[in-house]
Amino acid sequence: MIDLYSWTTPNGRKVSIALEELGLSYEAHAIDISKDEQFQPDFLKIAPNNRIPAIVDRETGISLMESGAILIYLADKAGALLPPEGEARYRVIEWLMWQMGGLGPMAGQAHHFLRANKGASAYAEERYVEEAKRLYGVLDRRLEGRDYIVDEYSIADIACWPWVSRYAWHEVDLDAFPSVKRWYKAIALRPAVQRGYQVPKHTGDIPMPD
Ligand SMILES: N[C@@H](CCC(=O)N[C@@H](CS)C(=O)NCC(=O)O)C(=O)O
């Protein structure tokens, strides 16, 4: 049994989607970041960076923060969604790191300036939207002629998909990125993705472009 501490955000959804895909038993605990619950002392013991998501594996006693590390741990534990060795394993980790260091932080900053602080800085709004679009271009080229980011569906797809589900928040038109759009819509139909998206609470349907 895995304890999942999460909220209805892209980084949180990565982990609930992976847990659903892998069929691992878990109990979700809501950490409402709009109420600053990520700063509670008990949560800090397992998440020293004050951010969701975090997990505790009751079987091993291991606790982890950082969604990328959690995805690798869960995939290795279940023996799926991450090849055990060889080039494909490093290719999945490569694209997972691309999401962790690029797509997530840049789109997150775009949300900060476009939605939470609109008008605070025209420079920052343009900078992060343009960087988000550049990254969508990178992903679009990678997905041209491929169903998934690496050969099989993997934690690289699961890491990127919830960020792309916020395409409207960072003002990206998916019609400009046809391979990303096709990939996004196909993954959105997966039953495990539909379940994991609504953890720790239901927030409405998955955004679906025409
Ligand atoms: N690199 C971290 C980022 C986690 C992160 O930024 N989580 C956000 C929600 S998506 C959060 O907890 N924000 C709370 C805050 O900013 O105080 C990861 O991937 O786990």
pLDDT (tens digit, 9 = 90+) per residue, 8-40?
999 999 999 999 999 999 999 999 999 999 999
Among 5, 3, 2, 83, CA closest to 43: 5
- The answer, yes or no, to whether residue 197 has pLDDT greater than 90, is yes
Q: Which fold has domain 86-190?
A: Glutathione S-transferase Yfyf (Class Pi); Chain A, domain 2 (1.20.1050)
Q: Which of 5, 7, 11, 46 to mutate to test the pocket of ligand 1 (most atoms within 8 A of CB)?
A: 11
What is this structure's pTM? 0.97
| Distance of alpha carbon 142 from alpha carbon 79, whole angstroms | 25
Q: Which fold has domain 2-81?
A: Glutaredoxin (3.40.30)
Backbone angles phi, psi at 67, to 5 degrees: -60, -35
52-95 per-position pLDDT tens digit: 999 999 999 999 999 999 999 999 999 999 999 999 999 999 99
CA nearest ligand 1 atom 2, residue: 66
Query: Which amino acid is located at 143 in the chain?
Result: L
178 prior amide bond cis, ω within 30: no
117-173 per-position pLDDT tens digit: 899 899 999 999 999 999 999 999 999 999 999 999 999 999 999 999 999 999 999
Closest atom of ligand 1 to CA, residue 52: 12
**Domain assignments of the chain as residue spans, ordered by start:** 2-81, 86-190
Could you tell me which residues come within 8 angstroms of residue 29 by beta carbon, excluding any fewer than 6 positions away? 3, 4, 5, 6, 200
Q: What band does 41 get if pLDDT is binned at 50, 70 and 90?
A: very high
- The answer, yes or no, to whether residue 182 has pLDDT greater than 90, is yes
| Distance of alpha carbon 191 from alpha carbon 21, whole angstroms | 9
Mean pLDDT of 96-103: 98
pLDDT at residue 203 in the model: 94
pLDDT at residue 116 in the model: 86
How remote is the CA of residue 16 from the centroid of ligand 1, in Å? 15
Across all residues in the chain, what is the average pLDDT?
Answer: 97
